[in-house]
């Protein structure tokens, strides 16, 4: 069965996420990030952050809501056969409590290799000042295409 | 650190409740990570770790290697392979591959019982 690549190149409307300190602390605790800059506002400011700083991988929290629509549209009924194959993040401006992050996603590439479908999505997240905070490349693999 | 140097190894053992805490913290509701019965019904040996949790351990090890400031982690690229499990020790290890324009590129791997759960991980650290 040939892969449907018609939506490659499609860009989706940005989805926003309000970052609050409790969500950062909860995430930092779950991934064992014990640097005080992720837990304590004073420590964060002393280290030069505007407020409690998100650990780099908190990128998955604020960009995930924007990933749903392109993944559902591109992969659809094959979702149960999908696995997360690879991930890249390139970080820019740090994300802090109080930020509003806006994430725009694009279906970057769809191709077939060794009987598997590769779906590559790009997310670009910016803060309320328009500064890029992260650029993500998400590779999802569907078996048996 | 310079080319060829090993970065400090990091070990962590996620406890039995970790996947539920990570699911809540990350917003990933997939029951293969949190519901033993569901996981077995889809052919898994039990609940598996979230790949992005394991990636976060690779990020943490690299941030520590760069001195602990999260702003020094500029880029991280990983491939997910195999499955990670709660209550088994994860070891993250790495080697400086090259220096590139004021950054160190570190090749990293995360293993559990000798199986790579994250491989071909490449981190770029500002130093």
pLDDT in tens, B19-40: 999 999 999 888 999 999 999 9
Please give the pLDDT value at position A24: 98
Measure the CA–CA gap between A104 and A124, rounded to whole angstroms.
Answer: 5
Q: Tell me what the mean pLDDT of segment B63-90 comes to.
A: 96
pLDDT at B62 over 90: yes
Q: What percentage of chain A has pLDDT greater than the value 90? A: 88
Do B80 and A31 make contact, defined as CB atoms within 8 angstroms? no
Q: What percentage of chain A has pLDDT greater than the value 70? A: 99
Contacts of A37 in chain B (CB under 8 A): 70
Do A88 and B12 make contact, defined as CB atoms within 8 angstroms? no
Shortest Cα distance, chain A CAs vs residue B124, angstroms: 9
CB-closest option in B25, B28, B71 to A26 = B25
pLDDT at B91 over 90: yes
pTM as predicted: 0.96
Give the chain B residue whose CA is nearest to the CA of A91: B74
Shortest Cα distance, chain A CAs vs residue B54, angstroms: 9
Residue B42's pLDDT band (cuts 50, 70, 90): confident
Mutate to test the interface with A, among B58, B59, B126 (most CBs of A within 10 A): B59
Residue A1's pLDDT band (cuts 50, 70, 90): low
Give the lowest-confidence range in A44-58, B28-42, B48-62: B28-42
pLDDT at A131 over 70: yes
CB-closest option in A56, A64, A87 to B70 = A56
């Amino acid at each position: 069965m040939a892969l449907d690549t018609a939506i490659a190149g499609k860009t989706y409307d940005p989805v926003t996420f309000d970052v609050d300190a409790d969500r950062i602390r909860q995430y930092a605790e779950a991934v064992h990030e014990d640097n005080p800059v992720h837990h304590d506002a004073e420590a964060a400011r002393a280290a030069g952050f505007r407020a409690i700083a998100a650990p780099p991988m908190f990128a998955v929290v604020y960009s995930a809501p924007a990933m749903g629509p392109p993944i559902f549209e591109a992969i659809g009924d094959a979702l149960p056969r999908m696995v997360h194959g690879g991930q890249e993040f390139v970080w820019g401006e740090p994300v802090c409590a109080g930020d509003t992050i806006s994430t725009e996603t694009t279906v970057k590439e769809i191709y077939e290799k060794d009987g598997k479908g590769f779906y590559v999505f790009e997310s670009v997240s910016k803060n309320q000042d328009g500064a890029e905070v992260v650029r993500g490349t998400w590779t999802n693999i569907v078996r048996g295409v | 650190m310079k080319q060829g140097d090993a970065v400090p190894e990091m070990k962590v053992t996620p406890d039995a409740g970790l996947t539920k805490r990570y699911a809540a913290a990350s917003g990933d509701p997939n029951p293969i990570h949190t519901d033993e019965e569901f996981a077995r019904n889809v052919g898994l040996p039990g609940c598996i770790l979230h790949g992005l949790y394991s990636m976060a351990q690779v990020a943490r090890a690299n941030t520590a290697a760069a001195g602990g400031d999260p702003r020094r982690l500029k880029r991280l690229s990983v491939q997910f392979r195999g499955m990670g499990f709660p209550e088994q020790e994860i070891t993250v290890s790495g080697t400086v591959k090259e220096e590139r324009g004021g950054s160190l590129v570190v090749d990293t791997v995360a293993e559990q019982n000798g199986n790579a759960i994250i491989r071909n991980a490449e981190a770029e650290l500002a130093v």
